[in-house]
Amino acid sequence: MKKPLIIFGTGKIADVIFYYATEECGLDVEAFVVDPPFVGNGEFKGRLVIALDQLKSKYPPEKFDAFVAIGYHQLNQLRAQKCIEIRNLGYQLISIVSPSANTPKDLIHGVNCFIMPPCEIHPCVKLGENVFVWGGAMIAHHCEIGDNCWITSSAQIGGASSIGANTFLALNATVSHGVKIGKSCFLGANTLVTKDLLDTQVVISESSKPIKLNSTQFLKFSSFSNL
């Protein structure tokens, strides 16, 4: 029998995690926990919000599991640190994998992973701990994703590639087949990486520039409105 769940965080990420935990995974979310300065009015999603220093006394680890639902601040280091703090209090961290996500039976993943549908994960893939995979992402066969990574929606990772710990892949970032990405790298939106990256490297693609015509002028000169 699954234990009730305590979620660390009350931001937008926690909001999303709460939906999948309750609506798709059938988990019983008992309360939320945050660092003391962020308790606010003490309520979120109809549940109690408590300070981390009160967690163990109110919700003992032998009766509750936990999940850390915060973003990619400091290239995921903050989330990783909170996972350590929660585990040191004696809690078992679980993973939240939507049953609607297209995951193979042989998928290996660590604790505190989140997998959102509709993603595409091939067979022979290994995810480390605390890896977040958002809807529309694709991880091809024989890939290895290190701990504390964040794979944003529509990011694509070619087969037999490896992603180092704490790396962030933004919207539509693409890693080619057999590429090795170092630790704590940042791959910006719409980037294409075809060669190995060293630790802490950054790859970005320039934003598209607006044309001189405004939208009304553009429609007059284009065939868009004839579609």
**pLDDT of 195-207, one tens digit each?**
999 999 999 999 9
Does the pLDDT at position 226 exceed 70? no
Exposed (0-12), middle (13-18) or buried (19+): which is 87, by Cβ within 10 Å? Answer: middle
Residue 227 confidence (pLDDT) above 60:
no
Predicted confidence (pLDDT) per residue in 32-85, tens digit: 999 999 999 999 999 999 999 999 999 999 999 999 999 999 999 999 999 999
Residue 155 to residue 87: CA distance in whole angstroms: 30
| Locus of tokens 């999603």 | 45
> Distance between CA atoms of 45 and 39, rounded to whole angstroms?
13
CATH entry 3.40.50.20 includes domain 5-94? yes
Q: What H or E segment, with its residue span, contains residue 126?
A: strand 126-127
Domains 5-94 and 97-221 share a fold: no
Q: Choose between 189 and 102: higher pLDDT.
A: 189
Which value, to the nearest 10 degrees, does the dihedral of the CA atoms of residues 39, 41, 43, 49 take? 20
DSSP reduced 3-state for 180: strand
pLDDT digits (tens, 9 = 90+) for 85-133: 999 999 999 999 999 998 999 999 999 999 999 999 999 999 999 999 9
pTM of the model: 0.94
Pick the CATH number of 97-221 from 3.30.499.10, 1.10.3720.10, 3.20.20.70, 2.160.10.10: 2.160.10.10
| Domain ranges (residues) in the chain | 5-94, 97-221
Residue 217: what pLDDT?
85
The SS3 call for residue 157 is strand
143-147, long-range: CB < 8 A, 24+ apart: 146/183, 147/80, 147/110
Q: Which of 14, 11, 41 is nearest to 29 (CA)?
A: 14
